[in-house]
Amino acid sequence: MAKPTRSSSSPVPPEMVDGFVEAWGRMGSVWGISRTMAEVHALLYITGDAMCTDDVMSALEISRGNASMSLRALLDWGVVTRAHRRGDRKDYFQAEQDVWSIFRAIVRERMKREVDPLLVSLHEIRDRSGDGAASSSGHDRMDEMIEFLEMTTRLADRFVGPSGPGLRLAATLLAKTPGGKSKKDSGEEKSA
Amino acid sequence: MAKPTRSSSSPVPPEMVDGFVEAWGRMGSVWGISRTMAEVHALLYITGDAMCTDDVMSALEISRGNASMSLRALLDWGVVTRAHRRGDRKDYFQAEQDVWSIFRAIVRERMKREVDPLLVSLHEIRDRSGDGAASSSGHDRMDEMIEFLEMTTRLADRFVGPSGPGLRLAATLLAKTPGGKSKKDSGEEKSA
DNA sequence: TTTCGATTTCAGAAACTTCTGAAATCATGC
DNA sequence: GCATGATTTCAGAAGTTTCTGAAATCGAAA
C-alpha cells in the first residue's frame, strides 16, 4: 500500500497519462490557472482515480505546499471533489468525470471572477461620468460594451445554471445545423 | 497639432476614458494578453479615434517599444486596423468598433492558439498509446475530451466564421428565450 | 487532554513575463 | 543614392507569478 493510487476501474496507459498531463498543463493559461494546477487536474481526470496529496506529489514531483494549494483551488473551481475512505485519515481527491460539467464549472467561475467585476466597474464609471443632460454624446461605445457583457452574462447563466442539459442540447443543435459554408468545407465533412 | 488625438466624432469624457482603460486593462488576463495591450485597446476603442504611436505613448505613459509591440499584437488579433492619412508619414491605428466583431476576433484567435494545438497533441497521444486491440479500455476519458473539444471547435467555427450575423442572431435568440429562473430575476428586466 | 498524522499557510527563492530605451531597420521624398 | 523620420527589435531591468519546504494548525482517536 505504498505510493500507487487505487484504480477505480480502468487501466490507462502511463504514456497516455504523461502526455495528457503535459498537454493539458500547457492549456493552463486558457483557464486562467497555473500550469501545475492544470496538471493536477489532468492527472485526476485522465486516470479517474481518487488520489491523496502524496500520490499527487510523487506523480508530478511537486512540493507538498504546491499540491495542497492546487488541490484546494481545484475544489474551489468545483472540478474536483473530496472523497473519504472509511478507516483512513487521509483526504482523497477525485476529478469530475463529465466533460460538460467541467466546462460549465470553468465558465461559471471565470464569469464570476472576471466579467462580473468588470461590469460593476463599468456601471460605476458610466454613472459617475456626467449622467446629466449634456452627456448623451460619448456614451455610445460604453453602452454598447455594457450591453454586450450583460447579454453574455445572461447567456452564460442560462448555459451554466441549474438547467444542466440545456447547454448540451443547444450546442449539439447548433453544431449540427447545416447551412453557411465554413472555412474548411473541402474534404473534411463529419459523418452525420 | 501637438499631441492630442484627432477626434472622429464624439467627445468622450476624460474620466470615462481613464476608468475604462483601467477596468479593461485589469481584464487583460481574460483575453490572455498583457495589461498594457488591453489598455491600448481600451483607449482606442473607447475614444473611437485613430491614433499614432506617439499619441498612445503619451496617453498611457508607456515606452515606444511597448506601444509598438502592443499595437502590432492588436493588429495580429484583428481588433485594430491601420489607417493612413494622406500627406502624413505616420501610421494611425483605429479599433474595431463593433463589439461583436471584437468578440469574434478574440474567440477565433484563442481557439487558434490554444485549442487547436491541444487537439493536435491529444490526437497524437491517443494514436501513439497502443491503438491495437487490447487498448479499448482506458481511452474513454481521452475520447470524451477529444470529442468535446472537436464539438467546441465546430461550434466556434460556425460562430466566428464568415457567417457573421449568425452568432448575433443565435445569442440574442437564446438570451431572450423565457423559461428557467436566473440569478437576478428581481427587478432588472430589460424592456423588450 | 494528549498524541500524532494530515493539511494548510507563508516567507523567501526561482522562474517567468513584461517593459524600457537605444540602436537597427525600413520606407519615403528629394 | 542620400537624408529624414517612422517603426521595429532586443538585451537587460523591473515587475509579477509560482514554487518550495519548514513551521503552524487542524482534527480524530485513545
What pLDDT, in 10s, does the model give residues A132-162? 555 555 578 999 999 999 988 888 887 777 6
Measure in Å the smallest separation between the Cα of B69 and chain A Cα atoms.
Answer: 21
Eight-state DSSP code of residue A185: -
Confidence of residue B183 (pLDDT cuts 50, 70, 90): very low
C-alpha cell at B103: 468578440
What are the tens digits of pLDDT across the range B40-55?
999 999 999 999 999 9
Instruction: Give residue A182's pLDDT.
Output: 41
Which chain C positions have some atom within 7 A of a protein CB?
A: 5-11, 17-23, 28
Higher local confidence (pLDDT), B56 or B130: B56
Eight-state DSSP code of residue A163: -
pLDDT above 80: residue B64: yes
Instruction: Give residue A73's pLDDT.
Output: 96
CA of A63 to C1' of D21 (A): 8
Instruction: Give residue A2's pLDDT.
Output: 34
pLDDT above 60: residue B12: yes
Do residues B189 and B175 make contact, with C-beta atoms less than 8 angstroms apart? Answer: no
Do residues A12 and A48 make contact, with C-beta atoms less than 8 angstroms apart? Answer: yes
Instruction: Give residue A146's pLDDT.
Output: 96
Average pLDDT across chain B, whole number = 81
Eight-state DSSP code of residue B137: S
* Residues of chain B neighbouring A137 (CB-CB closer than 8 A): 10-11
Which chain D positions have some atom within 7 A of a protein CB?
A: 5-11, 17-23, 28
Measure in Å the smallest separation between the Cα of B192 and chain A Cα atoms.
Answer: 13
User: What average pLDDT does range A26-49 have in this prediction?
Assistant: 92
Instruction: Give residue B124's pLDDT.
Output: 95
Q: How many residues are given for chain B?
A: 192
Instruction: Give residue A4's pLDDT.
Output: 39
Confidence of residue A186 (pLDDT cuts 50, 70, 90): very low
Eight-state DSSP code of residue B92: E
Higher local confidence (pLDDT), A30 or B102: B102
What are the tens digits of pLDDT across the range A53-107?
999 999 999 999 999 999 999 999 999 999 988 888 899 999 999 998 998 898 8
Entry pTM: 0.83
Measure in Å the smallest separation between the Cα of A46 and chain B Cα atoms.
Answer: 6
* Residues of chain B neighbouring A13 (CB-CB closer than 8 A): 129-130, 135, 138
Instruction: Give residue B2's pLDDT.
Output: 34
Cβ neighbours, 10 Å, residue A78: 15
CB contact under 8 A, A30 and B155: no
User: What average pLDDT does range B161-179 have in this prediction?
Assistant: 58
pLDDT above 50: residue A50: yes
Percent of chain B with pLDDT over 70: 74
Strand partners, A94: A81
User: What average pLDDT does range B156-180 have in this prediction?
Assistant: 61
Do residues B154 and A175 make contact, with C-beta atoms less than 8 angstroms apart? Answer: yes
